[in-house]
Structure 1
Amino acid sequence: MSADVRLGVLGCADIAWRRMLPAAERTPGVCVTAVAGRDQRRTARFAERFSAAAVHDYGELLQRSDIDAVYIALPNSLHHEWACRAVQSGRHVLVEKPMTCCYRHTVELIAQARANRRVLMENVTAQRHTQHEEVELLVAEGRIGTLRSFSAHFGIPPLPAGNIRYRSDLGGGVLLDLGIYTLRAAMRFAGPRLALRGAVLRTDPATGVDMSGAALLASSEGVDAHLSFGFDHDYACGYTLWGSQGSIRAERAVSVPADTRPVLTVSRKGESETVLAAACDQDSVTLAEFADQTRGRGAAAAHQVATLRSARLLDAVRTAARTGAAPLHRRQP
């Protein structure tokens, strides 16, 4: 293997263009070698921007000899197939969240990676931002007493018609797109072994895609977690830890620019204090961690355990919501 981890990219998604490939340029030891996409014009644009070869077939990219690892930025429904094929071709894999669309496929894929001794990582960069470590430190210092409740929300305004998030055949829907972030945050702060107590998903009858939802979970230690997410909301993304003596609120928990210092608000006994967390390039941190693992530094087990637990809970939310979900009725003109 060369000194740099030579990255092949499957898919010309917006997340790759805006965040992950620019982050690769900022990350020592990582270089983008080739980009594969089915739209030739879009693929050529990606390749030119990131000084990479343009490839117009996913399988062809996996046959290249100048690829050590693959970053998969395809629609959710294609993650399982192409991650499997990448692992079987001998490549390490960084795959956009969710790793797959269901728990069973996630188990199969992780087993495949382990059998082939390849690194397989789910790209949930938000969890690698250092602001969450600062929140954990504040809790450990006793600033809010004993944690009693956790809540998280992530909502965005409506997207243009035809967006892949509105296509059920491509694994669209708000649960896998935004809900997963709230779930991973709950696992981090309320406890990794959460049990689902109830859920609702509201679907668009025209597309069959879940457009908003909520879930209630609880830990064995008695901490409850309230999650809400939606595609038809004013933009908001944050979480609150509510304890016996105070609370901590994170106002921007997911898509934080690398030069931005997130705001944490600590409230206690009627008084509030603003804490500016350190800036963090969460995308570059993720790529550096992935590259280190491909070189045999660090263990994959910890983050794969979190991926499996979140996949199981995502399935549980869908199952719980299925019988009680209320359809989303379009507003009348």
Structure 2
Amino acid sequence: MKKKIKFGIIGCSRIAESSTIPAILESKIAEIEIIGSRTTSKAKKFAKKFNCKKYGSYEDVLNDNQVDAVYISVPVGLHEKWSIRAAKAGKHILCEKSSTTSYESAKRMVLESRKNNVRIMEGFMFRFHPSIQKVSELINKKTIGKIFSFQSRYGFPAISKKDIRYQEKLGGGILNDAGCYPICASRILFNEEPKSIYCNLITDKKYKVDEFANILLEFKDGKIAEMNVGYGLFYQSIYEVWGSKGVLSLFRAYNIPADMSALLEINTEKIIKMKVKPVNHFKLMIDYFSKEIQMKSKSNFNFEEDLLKQAQVIEAARKSNKEKRRIKISEII
């Protein structure tokens, strides 16, 4: 395998510009080969900003024989189309979250990747931050005793109604945008899959996209995960894990800037506050993905299976909201 993984960029999004492309440039084992956009002018603008010699359309990226992997950062509703095309072109795929708009779609994406012997990973950068690893370590050490619940709030001030997240056909809405984070975090920290879900989505009547979500996941042995996400709210990015002997709280849990320390609070009658040193979790994600492709290290989770399990839970959330009842995850097949 080549010394560095050469990335092609499919989609010149805000997150690509602010975080993922800079992370690839910072990496010692990955580099940008070509940048693709819907318009040549935007691709050229990004290429100039990031000192990339090659730019063009999405098809140009897929037709480039130098490209080992693609980073897909188009709207959620287009993830399946470009992931399948990338797989058929023999490119490994780092796909922005949420992976897609349905469980059936996720199965098609993974099937095509496996058929073409390429890897596909959903881009949850927070899972690579040492803060969640520290929380997992404390849980495993029984620092707060037997775990009972996970509670999370993730939301932001109002976004423009012209934003793609308000376009139903492009997979907009708070569930795909932010609800996916605490769902993923609860699965990681409980180290198991939920048994059932209840989800209530509050939808903008004009744009027909969900702006707020209240979600309850049930796990085995009575464990629960509660989460509230939304637009037009005071910024929150926090989760707490409550056990028989204490509570673990992580502040700025999901999208933490590379120059900010994560604050972890351990409350077991006495309160201990711990700072986790600043790191670029986007770079950690890029390196982790690249090393797996290079076979330099073995991932502690299966990319494809994790993408499918996450998509299955989110599909169950949609079904719960539509049918106004608790949905067993096993109903989603």
Q: Does the TM-score normalized on the shorter chain lie above 0.5?
A: yes
1:303/1:64 CA distance change after superposition, 3 Å: closer
Aligned length: 324
Gaps of 5+ in 2: 326-333
CA deviations over 1:278-298 (Å, ceiling 9, x no partner): 332211111111111221334
Asked if 1:280 corresponds to 2:287, the answer is no
Deviation at 1:45, TM superposition (A): 1.6
Asked if 1:250 corresponds to 2:243, the answer is no
Whole-Å Cα distance in 2 between the matches of residues 234 and 16 of structure 1? 25
Q: Give RMSD over aligned pairs.
A: 1.6
Deviation at 1:3, TM superposition (A): 2.2
Deviation at 1:272, TM superposition (A): 1.5
CA deviations over 1:184-240 (Å, ceiling 9, x no partner): 011112342202241100100100000001111111122111011101211101100
SS at the partner of 2:220?
A: coil
Gaps of 5+ in 1: 326-333
Preserved CA contact (<8 Å) 1:190 1:225: no
Whole-Å Cα distance in 2 between the matches of residues 47 and 36 of structure 1? 9
- Give the letter aligned to residue 229 of structure 2: F
CA deviations over 1:229-287 (Å, ceiling 9, x no partner): 10121110110001111101001111112232200111122x31111123322111111
SS at the partner of 1:221?
A: helix
% same residue: 26
Whole-Å Cα distance in 1 between the matches of residues 140 and 252 of structure 2? 21
Preserved CA contact (<8 Å) 2:33 2:54: no
Counterpart for residue 167 of structure 2: 167
- Give the letter aligned to residue 40 of structure 1: T
- Give the letter aligned to residue 170 of structure 2: L
Counterpart for residue 90 of structure 1: 90
Whole-Å Cα distance in 2 between the matches of residues 265 and 117 of structure 1? 43
Asked if 1:31 corresponds to 2:31, the answer is yes
Listed as ranges, the matches of 1:24-63 within 5 Å are: 24-63=24-63
Asked if 1:147 corresponds to 2:147, the answer is yes
- Give the letter aligned to residue 68 of structure 1: D
Listed as ranges, the matches of 1:1-333 within 5 Å are: 2-269=2-269, 271-299=270-298, 302-324=302-324
Preserved CA contact (<8 Å) 2:120 2:303: no
1:310/1:244 CA distance change after superposition, 3 Å: same
CA deviations over 1:48-73 (Å, ceiling 9, x no partner): 11122453421122112221211111
SS at the partner of 2:183?
A: helix
Whole-Å Cα distance in 1 between the matches of residues 237 and 123 of structure 2? 18
Moved more, 160-169 or 31-40: 31-40
- TM-score, normalised to structure 2, is 0.93
Preserved CA contact (<8 Å) 2:193 2:219: yes
Deviation at 1:322, TM superposition (A): 1.1
Deviation at 1:132, TM superposition (A): 0.8
Whole-Å Cα distance in 1 between the matches of residues 53 and 146 of structure 2? 54
1:139/1:314 CA distance change after superposition, 3 Å: same
- Give the letter aligned to residue 125 of structure 1: M
Whole-Å Cα distance in 2 between the matches of residues 142 and 119 of structure 1? 35
Counterpart for residue 331 of structure 2: none
Counterpart for residue 330 of structure 1: none
Whole-Å Cα distance in 2 between the matches of residues 53 and 179 of structure 1? 37
- TM-score, normalised to structure 1, is 0.93
Whole-Å Cα distance in 1 between the matches of residues 67 and 143 of structure 2? 48
Deviation at 1:155, TM superposition (A): 0.4
Moved more, 31-40 or 170-179: 31-40
Deviation at 1:15, TM superposition (A): 0.4
